Amino acid sequence: MFGRGATKKSDNTKFYEILGVPKTASPEDLKKAYKKAAIKNHPDKGGDPEKFKELAQAYEVLSDPEKREIYDEYGEDALKEGMGGGGGGGHDPFDIFSSFFGGGSPFGGGGSSRGRRQRRGEDVVHPLKVSLEDLYLGTTKKLSLSRNALCSKCNGKGSKSGASMKCGGCQGTGMKVTIRQLGPGMIQQMQHACNECKGTGETINDRDRCPQCKGDKVVPEKKVLEVNVEKGMQHSQKITFEGQADEAPDTVTGDIVFVIQQKEHPKFKRKGEDLFVEHTLSLTEALCGFSFVLTHLDGRNLLIKSYPGDVVKPDSYKAISDEGMPIYQRPFMKGKLYIHFTVDFPDSLTPDQTKAFEAILPKPSTTQLSDMEIDECEETTLHDVDIEDEMRRKAQAQREAYDDDEGDDDHPGGAQRVQCAQQ
């Protein structure tokens, strides 16, 4: 008994070897390894049918967590003995293969004509608007959606008896061909979905029609999904509910996908894991020190203050560590909070204020000009400008001149050249 057990144990690595993966392989690894090897060894591509079958068998067992556990513990024989519900060699390797490619062949065109056709239903994508507070704290949103579910009364058959008839209008193909005579010896052939069966290729006898779905095979259903918005998730990150989209007969149900749309925040701007906030200081605060209270996204009040003697220059930044956004899936780590300072200068000073400042502020380093030097210079007049507005107008004028030069050629290089000229 002991000896037999030991031999059995020795053959619980074969399936891993066939797929060329370690015993610790994740379901994702298995999927990738199988897909790659199966395409390479597909008989339609001249591969060895035995090898192809082995791959499917190995993948069928290892991709099923229950069967994989039995296999890891007791080996292949245990599966044959029925512990895993008859896992050994039951399924058609072509079915397993085609389930990877939504029923079609990955080789295009005809390919394998075997097995049932399993279409993959469409994914349903919803934008999900989320506030910055929610992304900071994490939240759960309950969303009610309606979708098509297979009719429970007829199991998606559409009829009471489970029977359907081949559509007479299209001979079961779902398509109709119309031929039009365009002229002598010239015809046009047009193919369109059969109107009698809506392209399904089958019809249901009126008396046999399922009373719940009226032969549609599906019924609308309300579904409530709990969407878990995790701390630190990013704009346009996806949250997927696999196989929860509309159901349809003979179709692998698609996914419902929520795409996070981060709402603009009136106070904080986010760049990845960092937060940015604007703060304006008076000239006195910039020179003599400041303190202010900033309410964070979670409602905490942060006291932000300068060191004595520190001077804050206009358009400068200071940062506070660990007060940025939490990092996705590592929520105890946080980015930085940057404060961008603007300094509000007075528009003008009285002669007395000027004198007072001159008395306390450091002397200018430039040497005083002599009367003779001033006499040799030309007088100029300074006037106020809005520099951004001036540059915008100049760029516009240059762009117009450039467009005239190049005629209809308005590739993006034009704008670039203008930008270079500005510098």
**Least distance in angstroms from the C-beta of 190 to Zn ion:** 16
| Minimum CB distance to Zn ion smaller for 103 or for 169 | 169
> Residue 370 and residue 253: Cα distance in Å, rounded?
88
Place of tokens 């100029």: 380
**Least distance in angstroms from the C-beta of 146 to Zn ion:** 18
Query: How buried is 138 (Cβ within 10 angstroms: 0-12 exposed, 13-18 middle, 19+ buried)?
Result: middle
| Minimum CB distance to Zn ion smaller for 200 or for 253 | 200
**Least distance in angstroms from the C-beta of 105 to Zn ion:** 25
**Least distance in angstroms from the C-beta of 206 to Zn ion:** 14
Q: What residues contact residue 314 under an 8 Å CB cut-off, 6+ apart?
A: 286, 341, 342, 343, 345
| Minimum CB distance to Zn ion smaller for 128 or for 170 | 170
Type of residue at 337: L
Binding site for Zn ion (CB under 5 A): 151, 153-154, 167, 169-170, 194, 196-197, 210, 212-213
Closest by alpha carbon to 336, among 349, 348, 346, 321? 321
Type of residue at 223: K
Torsion of Cα atoms, 323 then 327 then 331 then 333, to 10°: -50
| Minimum CB distance to Zn ion smaller for 153 or for 394 | 153
| Minimum CB distance to Zn ion smaller for 64 or for 202 | 202
> Residue 178 and residue 169: Cα distance in Å, rounded?
12
| Minimum CB distance to Zn ion smaller for 91 or for 119 | 119
| Minimum CB distance to Zn ion smaller for 169 or for 331 | 169
**Least distance in angstroms from the C-beta of 255 to Zn ion:** 25
| Minimum CB distance to Zn ion smaller for 165 or for 397 | 165
3-class state of residue 140 by DSSP: strand
**Least distance in angstroms from the C-beta of 145 to Zn ion:** 21
> Residue 270 and residue 234: Cα distance in Å, rounded?
10
**Least distance in angstroms from the C-beta of 160 to Zn ion:** 8
**Least distance in angstroms from the C-beta of 203 to Zn ion:** 7
Reported as type and span, the H/E element at residue 223 is: strand 218-229
Angle between helices 49-62 and 27-41 (to 10 degrees): 170
| Minimum CB distance to Zn ion smaller for 86 or for 162 | 162
**Least distance in angstroms from the C-beta of 177 to Zn ion:** 12
> Residue 333 and residue 316: Cα distance in Å, rounded?
26
> Residue 365 and residue 359: Cα distance in Å, rounded?
15
For every residue of 73-116, DSSP letters joined together read HH-HHHHHTTTTSS-SS-S-HHHHHHGGGTTS-TT-SS----S-
**Least distance in angstroms from the C-beta of 207 to Zn ion:** 14
3-class state of residue 232 by DSSP: coil
Categorise residue 408: left if φ over 0, alpha if ψ from -120 to 50, beta otherwise: alpha
| Minimum CB distance to Zn ion smaller for 150 or for 339 | 150
Closest by alpha carbon to 203, among 191, 192, 194, 212? 194
